[in-house]
Amino acid sequence: VTKKSLGEVQLAAWKSLLNAHAVAVGAIETRLREAGEIPLTWYDVLWALRKSGDDCCLRFRQLQDEIVLSRSALSRLIDTLAKAGLVKKQTCAKDARGLDVELTEKGHKALTSAWPIYSAGITEHFARQLTAEECQQVARILGKVAELTPTCRNT
Amino acid sequence: VTKKSLGEVQLAAWKSLLNAHAVAVGAIETRLREAGEIPLTWYDVLWALRKSGDDCCLRFRQLQDEIVLSRSALSRLIDTLAKAGLVKKQTCAKDARGLDVELTEKGHKALTSAWPIYSAGITEHFARQLTAEECQQVARILGKVAELTPTCRNT
DNA sequence: AAAGATTGAGAGGTCAATCTTA
DNA sequence: TAAGATTGACCTCTCAATCTTT
């Protein structure tokens, strides 16, 4: 090994994160595609809208806080979702600079229809051989990681 | 929550994986870019070559087993690396269908030069607040995940 | 000028089809 | 015909510049 200053143990943990993510996400995306369901990115956005409250409507800005994408990528993604009829774009009433994004009925259905495949994928490609305790440990430990870097996106 | 069949605990673990990965990888890529070093994907390929043995040379096919990319993506990436002078492409002597990919001197240097930034990134954005024991737990648990799905790439 | 969102250019990814050698 | 790798068409991401409303 060519280095020091970062221990072997830390490095092994890091590699396991990269691998586990690549393998599990890849497999789940494939399942979704083969089942004709929406991809994970779409799911995340629609889910953020559904859980946002009664009207399932969020400002672009707020969506941005939930989704790990650059501003431009999110802007294009919302366009795509709107074209697919899963969300509806509306200029914000209170501030015409803003954009309101609302989940449509079709969007609700897409979310509901994708969940069985998605959850089966999580089970099969991630949770299958983990005990409940191990899941708790992972959640606790990786939770700390997310706090380390406040997910600062571009200007 | 709209579902059952996958427990809350498992779901929380899954989300923590997605988040930790996105945040840490994003931050590290930014650091590398700002420091003028090679991106993570390039690092992975060059590293696979370096660790492959004395001549730092691998068949395309073997590289594929180490790298999480589709065949075509890897093909283009190797082209890019060759144009940048970091690897050298050679038709394989024993089987003219094959491609040998060799790490160049410049490739070695790029790897060496990027490591301090990369390792500092891993420390700061991932390992910083984790104990050695937690790292071991993560490595062990996420290691199981990677085994679940044999990283089958496209035909 | 600043905040909110979009757009243009370029990099890099995927699948499916193709070319080449065994 | 199969194995190894490349190419074409298309999609999505990023950064930087731009447009619009405050």
pLDDT tens digits, residue range A70-95?
A: 999 999 999 999 999 999 999 999 99
Query: CA(B83)–C1'(C19) in Å?
Result: 22
- pLDDT at residue A41, rounded to an integer: 98
Nearest CA-CA distance, residue A80 and chain B, Å? 22
Is the distance from CB of A81 to CB of A107 less than 8 angstroms? yes
- Mean pLDDT over residues A36-43, rounded? 98
Whole-angstrom distance, CA of residue B88 vs CA of residue B82: 6
Query: CA(B66)–C1'(D5) in Å?
Result: 17
Q: Which residue has the tokens 């970091």?
A: B86
Find chain B residues with C-beta within 8 A of A11's C-beta. Answer: 122
In DSSP terms, which residues pair with B43 in a beta bridge?
A: none
- pLDDT at residue A116, rounded to an integer: 97
Mutation to test the A interface, candidates B31, B144, B149, B153, most A Cβ within 10 Å: B149
Q: Kind and range of the H or E element at A45?
A: helix A40-50
| Number of neighbouring beta carbons within 10 Å of residue B57 | 17
Within 7 Å of a protein beta carbon, the nucleotides of strand C are 3-8, 12-17, 20-22
Cα radius of gyration rounded to whole Å, chain A? 18
Q: For the sheet containing B99-103, what is the strand order?
A: B57-59, B99-103, B87-91
Find chain A residues with C-beta within 8 A of B9's C-beta. Answer: 132, 135-136, 139
Whole-angstrom distance, CA of residue B69 vs CA of residue B76: 11
pLDDT by residue for chain B (155 residues), tens digit each?
Answer: 334 479 999 999 999 999 999 999 999 999 999 999 999 999 999 999 999 987 888 999 999 999 999 999 999 999 999 999 999 999 999 999 999 999 999 999 999 999 999 999 999 999 998 999 999 999 999 999 988 887 756 65
Question: Residues by CB within 7 Å of nucleic chain D, which ones?
Answer: A 41, 69-73, 76-77, 80, 95-97, 154; B 30, 59-61, 64, 71-72, 75-76, 78-79, 89, 92, 95, 97-99
| Residue-wise burial string across A107-141, b where 16 or more C-beta atoms lie within 10 A, e elsewhere | beebbeebbebbbebbbebbbeebeeebbebbbeb
The pairing of strands B87-91 and A99-103 is: unpaired
Q: How many residues does chain B have?
A: 155
- pLDDT at residue A56, rounded to an integer: 83
Whole-angstrom distance, CA of residue B108 vs CA of residue B33: 18
- pLDDT at residue A2, rounded to an integer: 39
- Mean pLDDT over residues A110-131, rounded? 97
Find chain B residues with C-beta within 8 A of A26's C-beta. Answer: 68, 149, 151
Of A9, A17, A125, the CB nearest to B142: A17
Which residues of chain B from 108 to 127 reach within 8 Å of chain A, CB to CB?
112, 115-116, 119-120, 122-127
Region label for A4, one of left (φ > 0), alpha (ψ between -120 and 50) or beta (otherwise):
beta
Residue with the larger pLDDT of the pair A57 and B23: B23
